[in-house]
Amino acid sequence: MKLTLLEDLVCPCGGDLELSRVLESASNHSPNPAEIMNGWLRCGKCGENFPIIKGVPRMLLGPLRASLKEEYPDFFSHSKEQLEDEAGEGPDSKLRTMRSFGYEWRHFSDFRPEGEANFRWYFSAYPPESLRGKVLLDAGCGKGRHLFFAAQHARKVIGIDLSPAVDAAFDNTGHLENVHIVQADLFQLPLRQQSFDMVYSLGVLHHLPEPEAGFREILRYGRPGADVLVYLYWSLNDEPRWKKHLLNFVGMVRRVTTRLPFPLLRAFSWCVAVGGEICFVAPYRALRKTRWKAFAETLPLKLYADFPFRLLYQDQFDRFSAPIENRYGREDVEGWLTRSGLENWDIVRGSGWRAMGKVPTVSTRAKAMVS
């Protein structure tokens, strides 16, 4: 954790944090002397303690904190400070989501060379010069692929993720001076509100139990007029019937796969990816520049034609592992944007919905709340 993060980081109760202890260990060595690899933060307001483990402050509260002891037993065995035990185990879906994405991004931690093309696709409405000098929040940063490329242009980027995927994100971006990683719940963000020039959440909100509530939550952290960019799965309402049947079949299979042990699910996902490559991706490559182009454009998974097989494999694991998967029609996304009071909004279709706009001003917020 870079010490400069304390300018932005706060306790979920709103209190200021201070570095209460640095743990000396072999894993505490960092090329940056101003970075803490292992230690503890303490809130001056409520007295709560938060561990810094492997360079990342872990700002979890409630029953989810118990997962830290399971994931990092060595840290707690060498620390005098301990987390207070919380009653209960937390929502099953949230715990499974946390573990699912932690496992996924640790085992699929590399994002290059395709990562930059992926970043440009998501941020097509935001050229690099539009990010210069800005402070960005990545709500659900995963392994840090978008953080890495956003940091090439922005002044500062803070990535938040609920899962142990933050370890992969730190490995991928921790060397960048303008990137910070925090493990925290999107509904209990340990950050100062209205302090970001852009807030984005790509492929995250549709995995939440209350996706629209999560969307409204992240808006609180953008300054009035700040840019907002989110990506959501689509429902295929206006797609051919056979695609809807295929999606329904996938949904039925997910009832089983979301309960499988992760190593077994990886093997299953590899088989599915091979099938997708043979049935859809390879035919699309072969036909997209022929007289059969119109047919080729109807094929599922065509977007993987210009990416390595590894990305298709990873995305199938993602598809069959996350316990919650919400999908939306355009009218659903429009409802989110209008109810939140988002200004100058737009929705771009293509392998899902990219919704963008600007955080409302105070007057617009008030109108949205009244309506």
Residue 9 bridge partners (DSSP): 191
Same domain? For 19 and 86 the reply is: yes
pLDDT tops 90 at residue 123: yes
Helix (H) or strand (E) run with residue 22 in it:
strand 17-22
Same domain? For 338 and 207 the reply is: yes
* Per-residue model confidence (pLDDT) at position 118: 85
Name the average pLDDT for the chain: 89
56-57 vs 49-53, strand pairing mode: antiparallel
pTM value is: 0.89
Query: Per residue in 304-355, pLDDT tens?
Result: 998 889 989 999 999 999 999 999 999 999 999 999 999 999 999 988 999 9
* Per-residue model confidence (pLDDT) at position 232: 97
Instruction: Kindly state whether residue 8 falls inside one of the protein's structural domains.
Output: yes
Alpha carbons 125 and 229: distance in angstroms, whole number: 9
Residue 247 contacts by C-beta under 8 Å, 6 or more apart in sequence?
236, 327
Mean pLDDT of the 265-272 span: 97
Alpha carbons 61 and 48: distance in angstroms, whole number: 10
Residue 4 contacts by C-beta under 8 Å, 6 or more apart in sequence?
34, 180
Tokens 């929705």 belong to residue: 347
% of the chain surpassing 90 pLDDT: 71
* Per-residue model confidence (pLDDT) at position 101: 84
Q: Which residue has the higher pLDDT, 261 or 29?
A: 261
Same domain? For 210 and 336 the reply is: yes
Alpha carbons 63 and 40: distance in angstroms, whole number: 19
What secondary structure, in 3-state letters, does 147-181 show?
Answer: HHHHCCCCCEEEEEECCCCHHHHHHHHCCCCCEEE
Instruction: Kindly state whether residue 253 falls inside one of the protein's structural domains.
Output: no
Query: How many domains does the chain fold into?
Result: 3
Same domain? For 159 and 289 the reply is: no
Same domain? For 343 and 202 the reply is: yes
What single DSSP character describes residue 208? S
Question: How many other C-beta atoms lie within 10 A of the C-beta of residue 213?
Answer: 12
What single DSSP character describes residue 277? I
Same domain? For 30 and 162 the reply is: no
Instruction: Kindly state whether residue 240 falls inside one of the protein's structural domains.
Output: no
Same domain? For 227 and 122 the reply is: yes
Of 237, 219, 234, the C-alpha closest to 359 is: 219
Same domain? For 231 and 311 the reply is: no
Contact at 8 Å (CB) between 21 and 55? no
Whether the bond between 209 and the residue before it is cis, its omega within 30 degrees of 0, is no
Of 353, 362, 361, 351, the C-alpha closest to 335 is: 353
Confidence of residue 26 (pLDDT cuts 50, 70, 90): very low
Query: Per residue in 69-97, pLDDT tens?
Result: 888 999 988 777 777 755 444 556 677 88
Query: Per residue in 138-155, pLDDT tens?
Result: 999 999 999 999 999 999
Lowest mean pLDDT among 31-35, 133-137, 260-264, 367-371: 367-371
Q: What residue numbers bound the domain in which 127 lies?
A: 115-235+327-370
